[in-house]
Each structure stands twice: as structure tokens, then as C-alpha cells.
């Protein structure tokens, strides 16, 4: 079974898994990890890096960032009026994020490429709301997900200054 490893300080790895390369600890670049693993490692960094070419495959390196989870998680909690965040709600958010990656292509990024952060957060929020209802921690059970989630989102609208 693949395991999560932190590359810095690891002298050997017996199975390939997720390799997270943190900017403050960069001791290896994604291209080196991909070459070392013969293209089998799933790599994400917390800094933007260019795609990596290896054996005719272009590997798009995902950028780990809490903006994938927290806005949608918080929005789901607000909309459902959940009084507690349960493990199932976190898992639902993670599954919603993972569902946006097309892993059928070689070199696919580990994390989704987000074109519209607001729509993506709403997508994650729907999963969190459903999980909160199932976990019975929701004080409110929305009946119209897209509209109610959109209504709860902050709108960057400012009065005309003139």
C-alpha cells in the first residue's frame, strides 16, 4: 500500500506514494522525484512549478493550497449551520476535490486546476452540507443547494464612489 512520505530527511522509500515538497524544506525538485520513482510518484508542492517531462509523459504538478478546502468547508458549515465539524464532513470535502481530477491520463495533476474558485468552493460546500445533514450536526437542511449556497457567499459588490 502506498504511503505518504515527507521527502526531507527520508533516506529510502519502499513504496511510492504522495510526495509533498514544501518550499521551506526543498531538498528535491518534483522532476527528481518523478525520475527517481520512474514516473510512479504522485507529487504536489506548495509552490508553483512547471510541468515535468519524463519518458514522453508530461506530468502536471499540483499545487497544494488550503484554498481548495477551507472556503468550501466554511461555506458548507455556514449554510448548514452545523454546530460541529465532523470527520465525515472533511472527507466529503476531500472527495469532492479529488473528483475534479481526471486520473485517466498519464501525468495528470494530483490536485485539480481551478478555473473558477467561487464555483469550486460552492461545489465543495454542497458535499460538506450533505455530510453535515447525514452526520446530524446540521441545524438547517437546505432544499435548494445551488441557490442557497450562492446566497450565502460574500459578493464583492461596492457602492459607486462617485
Q: How confident is the model over 103-151, as pLDDT tens digits?
A: 888 888 878 888 898 999 999 999 999 999 999 999 999 888 788 999 9
- For 19, the domain range is 5-63
Is residue 161 domain-resident? Answer: no
73-99: per-residue pLDDT in tens? Answer: 999 999 999 999 999 999 999 999 988
SS3 per-residue string spanning the chain: CCCCEECCCCCCCCCCCEEEECHHHCCCCHHHHHHHCCCCCEEEECCCCCCEEECCEEECCEECCHHHCHHHHHHHHHHHCCCCCCHHHHHHHHHHHHCCCCCCCCCCCCCCCCCCHHHHHHHHHHHHHHHHHHCCCCCCCCCCHHHHHHHHCCCCCCCCCC
Q: Are residues 13 and 76 in the same domain?
A: no
Query: According to the per-residue pLDDT averaged within each range, which of 31-40, 62-71, 99-108 is highest?
Result: 31-40
Q: Are residues 59 and 70 in the same domain?
A: no
> What's the domain count of the chain?
2
Amino acid at each position: 500500500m502506498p504511503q505518504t512520505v515527507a521527502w526531507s530527511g527520508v533516506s529510502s522509500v519502499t513504496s511510492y506514494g504522495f510526495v509533498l515538497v514544501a518550499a521551506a524544506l526543498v531538498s528535491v525538485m518534483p522532476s527528481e522525484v518523478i525520475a527517481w520513482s520512474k514516473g510512479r510518484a504522485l507529487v504536489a508542492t506548495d509552490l508553483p512549478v512547471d510541468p515535468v517531462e519524463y519518458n514522453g509523459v508530461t506530468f502536471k504538478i499540483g499545487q497544494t493550497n488550503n484554498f481548495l478546502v477551507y472556503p468550501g468547508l466554511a461555506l458548507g458549515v455556514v449554510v448548514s449551520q452545523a454546530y460541529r465539524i465532523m470527520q465525515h464532513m472533511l472527507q466529503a470535502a476531500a472527495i469532492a476535490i479529488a473528483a475534479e481530477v481526471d486520473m485517466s491520463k498519464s501525468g495528470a495533476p494530483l490536485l485539480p486546476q481551478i478555473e473558477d474558485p467561487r464555483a469550486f468552493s460552492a461545489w465543495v460546500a454542497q458535499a460538506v452540507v450533505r455530510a453535515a445533514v447525514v452526520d446530524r450536526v446540521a441545524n438547517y437542511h437546505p432544499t435548494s443547494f445551488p441557490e442557497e449556497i450562492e446566497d450565502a457567499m460574500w459578493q464583492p459588490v461596492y457602492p459607486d464612489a462617485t
